[in-house]
Structure 1
Amino acid sequence: MSEVLDHSRPRRSVQQPYGFLSYGRTPNVPDRDRPPDERLVRFHAKLTDDLMELTDLDAMVPAVYLDKRIPVGSEWEGELKERLARCQVLVPVLSRRLFTSPWCRLEWDCFQRRQELQRKRGTFTRQAVVPVLWNALRAEEIPRPYADLQYTHEDFGADYASVGLLGLATQGRHTTFNKVIYQLALKIVEVAVSARLEPCDPSDFDDLFVGLNGSAGEEHR
């Protein structure tokens, strides 16, 4: 007797990891006690916590990949390719540093290639990108391809659209900061479930990395 599939049963979340955080790294300032990108790391931790609450993700795999956590001495290029080939949603953190980072552009190009491969298979459903407004930016300051993304939403509130997540954190508006992150987590889950982006072979990105040979690990941006 053939097995009857029960479509009423929920499917486990696909995780390889769930999201990939693409951001322009702030350089380290000499003689400064606080590490760079401290607020971004805080955002990443809260987003991870919210995604764990909203899904059935396994804690042994990062809910949102943050490349700061590549171990020293690891083969970072292979690590990035693997994560970009497997993640469900690209999460670009919109800022002036992201717009000028060749590595952020590379991450975008890799993810778009993966989506194009799915278009060619005829199984593409929607863009699997959820942008985060980090800095206070005017529309004309956001270049393409990021300008083509819907980066604000009424559920996120007018304050977020005005000053971005960094502005909320800097102003001490922790309740609004946390609320927006929760709304972003909800959006990431919705996009991941509806897009169901299929993984690709990491070698599909090989030619995109040609000419971008930085130093390994923490310094690769």
Structure 2
Amino acid sequence: MAAAIIDDPGAPVFFLSYARPDRARAVSAPREPNRYVMRFFDELTANVNELVGSPAGQDPGYLDLGHGGGEHWQKAVLHGAGTCQVLVCLLSRPYLFQSNWCPLEWDVFARRKVLPRAAAAPGIESAIVPVLWTPFHEMLPGVTADVNIFRPTGLPDEDYTARYLTDGLFGLLRTGQTEIYEAIVWKLAMHIQRIHSLYWVEPGVPEGIAGLRQSFSEGMP
């Protein structure tokens, strides 16, 4: 049976989770996202907007810009992760092994229930989309190993996927492989559209961070 869907027009279609300096460890003012993260977010947002649309004056994506801090900032991030429909995670070594907030954002989203929008929808799949940002050689830790890394299909050249899995999106940008990068970002936007059209993720905004995961290695033997 299809879920009783009540879409929140103010909720983001996707939330971009990426590694940034943890505020508790910062010795200076928090840094804004690097220009490559901003470029990726802007281009993905534009693509998703073309595919899904959004209310006037509102972007379909959410990105924590690293401004300010304290309780207000914390509530804004938790609200974004607790109301978005797709969690896009930029996997890197800092994301997986050094950040406290990335596991927390993942945990907030993973606790929410994914429901089909229609009875004919295919079996439930994850609305968490891990994307390779930079290559790493360690095994995926904990819960991250349970979700497949995004691998685009239907690209103009079969070699595109191999280059993405070797260099990551950041590496593609740094080495001037923009044609491959842009094709993969478009395919990612189409994947977000597909998830958004088939499934609905129930909102679930925690009151605070108590009890939330702060390491992907928590619970590992």
**TM-score (normalizing by structure 1):** 0.73
Match of residue 180, structure 2, among 176, 179, 190: 176
1:23 aligns with 2:18: yes
1:165 aligns with 2:169: yes
Find the counterpart in structure 1 of residue 28 from structure 2.
none
**Unaligned runs of at least 5 residues, structure 1:** 1-11, 28-34, 119-123, 212-221
Aligned positions of 1:1-221 closer than 5 A: 16-25=11-20, 37-68=34-65, 75-100=72-97, 101-115=99-113, 125-138=124-137, 140-155=138-153, 157-203=161-207, 206-208=209-211
CA RMSD after TM alignment: 3.1
Asked whether the equivalents of residues 26 and 36 of structure 1 are also in contact (C-alpha less than 8 Å), the reply is no
- Rate the CA distance shift 1:82–1:186 in 2: closer, same or farther, 3 A: same
Asked whether the equivalents of residues 50 and 185 of structure 1 are also in contact (C-alpha less than 8 Å), the reply is yes
- Rate the CA distance shift 1:74–1:50 in 2: closer, same or farther, 3 A: farther
Q: Which moved more, 1:81-90 or 1:64-73?
A: 64-73
Report the AA paired with residue 134 of structure 2: N
Asked whether the equivalents of residues 14 and 88 of structure 1 are also in contact (C-alpha less than 8 Å), the reply is no
- Within 2, Cα distance between the matches of 1:202 and 1:45? 28
Shift of 1:61: 2.6
Please give the secondary structure, in 2, of the residue aligned with 1:196: strand
- Within 2, Cα distance between the matches of 1:36 and 1:200? 26
Q: Which has the higher helix share?
A: 1
- Rate the CA distance shift 1:149–1:160 in 2: closer, same or farther, 3 A: same
Asked whether the equivalents of residues 108 and 206 of structure 2 are also in contact (C-alpha less than 8 Å), the reply is no
- Within 2, Cα distance between the matches of 1:14 and 1:182? 23
Asked whether the equivalents of residues 127 and 195 of structure 1 are also in contact (C-alpha less than 8 Å), the reply is no
- Within 1, Cα distance between the matches of 2:33 and 2:141? 25
Shift of 1:102: 1.0
Please give the secondary structure, in 2, of the residue aligned with 1:137: coil
**Unaligned runs of at least 5 residues, structure 2:** 1-6, 23-31, 116-122, 156-160, 215-221
Shift of 1:64: 1.3
- Rate the CA distance shift 1:54–1:111 in 2: closer, same or farther, 3 A: same
- Within 2, Cα distance between the matches of 1:210 and 1:159? 32
Please give the secondary structure, in 2, of the residue aligned with 1:131: strand
Q: Which has the higher strand share?
A: 2
Shift of 1:134: 0.4
**TM-score (normalizing by structure 2):** 0.73
Q: Alpha-carbon deviations, 1:25-75, whole Å to 9, x = none? A: 169xxxxxxx76211111001001101111122242331110016567881
Find the counterpart in structure 2 of residue 5 from structure 1.
none
Please give the secondary structure, in 2, of the residue aligned with 1:91: strand
Structure 1 or 2, whichever has the larger Rg, is 1
